[in-house]
């Protein structure tokens, strides 16, 4: 077994706390500071807005429009999504455009938007 393989095997057995101590000891011994590498991504021409949305991990979901004939269904969805009472959900739906959710993961934001649109209203996502 090579020295590298032995070292990998030994490091694999360390706990998280021991690894943190090792990191600190190496930083002090070598006079460096460990940092996560920043990767710069150059978007394709005309795709800057798309690249910014793809890089976002959290999204803001905004209820933008509620047709009068769909208001009851939208209020039910708003109550389900926000946990608000009937009065508060009705006020939120009538005051569109209003933010429904701040800082949610992309998958959840898309699911919320789909529910709102299925109820007959319109929603937008904004990457944070």
In a domain, 15, yes or no: no
Query: What is the CB neighbour count within 10 angstroms for residue 96?
Result: 18
Query: Which domain does 66 fall in, by range?
Result: 56-127
* DSSP codes, the chain: --HHHHHHHHHHT--HHHHHHHHHHHHHHHT----PPP----PPTT-HHHHHHHH--EEEEEEEE--GGGHHHHHHHHHHHH---HHHHHHHHHT-SEEEEEEEEHHHHHHHHHHHHHTT-EEEEEE-
Instruction: Give domain status of residue 109, yes or no.
Output: yes
pTM recorded for the entire structure: 0.54
Say what the pLDDT of residue 43 is.
53
In a domain, 65, yes or no: yes
Classify residue 51: in a domain, yes or no.
Answer: no
Asked if residue 120 has a cis previous peptide bond (ω within 30° of 0), the answer is no
Give per-residue pLDDT as tens, 18-31. Answer: 877 888 888 788 77
Contact 91, 32 (CB under 8 A): no
> Cβ distance 93 to 63 under 8 Å?
yes
pLDDT mean across residues, the chain = 80
Encoding tokens for residue 64?
């933008």
Low-confidence ranges of the chain (pLDDT < 50): 37-39, 51-53
| Residue 46 within a domain | no
**Which CATH number do you get for residue 60?**
3.30.1390.10
Tell me how many domains the chain contains.
Answer: 1
pLDDT of residue 40: 52
């Amino acid at each position: 077994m090579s020295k590298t393989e032995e070292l990998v095997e030994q490091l694999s057995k360390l706990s998280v706390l021991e690894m943190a101590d090792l990191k600190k000891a190496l930083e002090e011994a070598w006079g460096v500071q460990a940092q996560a590498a920043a990767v710069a991504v150059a978007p394709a021409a005309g795709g800057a807005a798309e690249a910014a949305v793809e890089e976002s991990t959290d999204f803001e979901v905004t209820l933008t429009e509620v047709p009068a004939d769909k208001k009851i269904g939208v209020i039910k969805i708003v109550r389900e999504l926000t946990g608000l009472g009937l009065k508060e959900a009705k006020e939120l739906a009538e005051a569109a455009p209003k933010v429904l959710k701040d800082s949610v993961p992309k998958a959840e934001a898309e699911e919320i938007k789909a529910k709102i649109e299925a109820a007959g209203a319109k929603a937008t996502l904004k990457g944070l």
